[in-house]
Amino acid sequence: MPYIKIWIHFVWATKNREPVLEKESRQQLFGHIKENGKIKNIHVDFVNGHIDHVHALVSLHTEQTIAKVAQMLKGESAYWANRNNLFQKTLVWQDEYFAVSVSESGINKVREYIKHQEEHHRKKSFQEEYDEFMEKYGFEIMKG
């Protein structure tokens, strides 16, 4: 049996960064993402976000790929939220997402970062956060 520990920090946004994730209901969505992960054998360690995006810290299992995990978490969560009329607007995720590896020594720092999203976004917009991610991780800069 292989033993692996690969941590991934996922970030994905609502379509056109629409402010769909209302404060009153988004914690229900985040709780559902964790529960759905358990059902699908995806270890979602921590999930949180803000009005237009989600951060999730995930530990991959041996047979999982980043693309498949992102697809399962994003697709099912939007379906569930819309089926349950969780938000005033229809929830649609953008196709793109960030996925970066996290070292074991950085896990607590990433958890804290994810935990304090609301506070973080009082000072910085998602676009500013996006641009910082793009630069920090060496991704090609794209606006929008």
**Cα separation, 64 vs 50, whole angstroms:** 27
Beta-sheet pairing, 6-14 with 43-50: unpaired
Quick one: pLDDT at residue 131?
84
**Cα separation, 45 vs 109, whole angstroms:** 13
Give the number of domains in the chain.
1
141: in domain: no
Quick one: pLDDT at residue 141?
58
68: in domain: yes
Edge-to-edge strands, sheet with 53-60: 43-50, 53-60, 6-14, 93-102
144: in domain: no
Question: Which residues constitute the domain of residue 77?
Answer: 6-136
Quick one: pLDDT at residue 142?
53
Quick one: pLDDT at residue 144?
47
Q: Could you state, in chain order, the average pLDDT of each consecutive group of 10 residues for the chain (144 residues)? A: 88 96 96 96 96 97 95 96 97 95 95 90 84 82 52
114: in domain: yes
Provide the CATH number for the domain around residue 39.
Answer: 3.30.70.1290
Quick one: pLDDT at residue 123?
86
17: in domain: yes
142: in domain: no
Quick one: pLDDT at residue 120?
78
Q: Model pTM?
A: 0.89
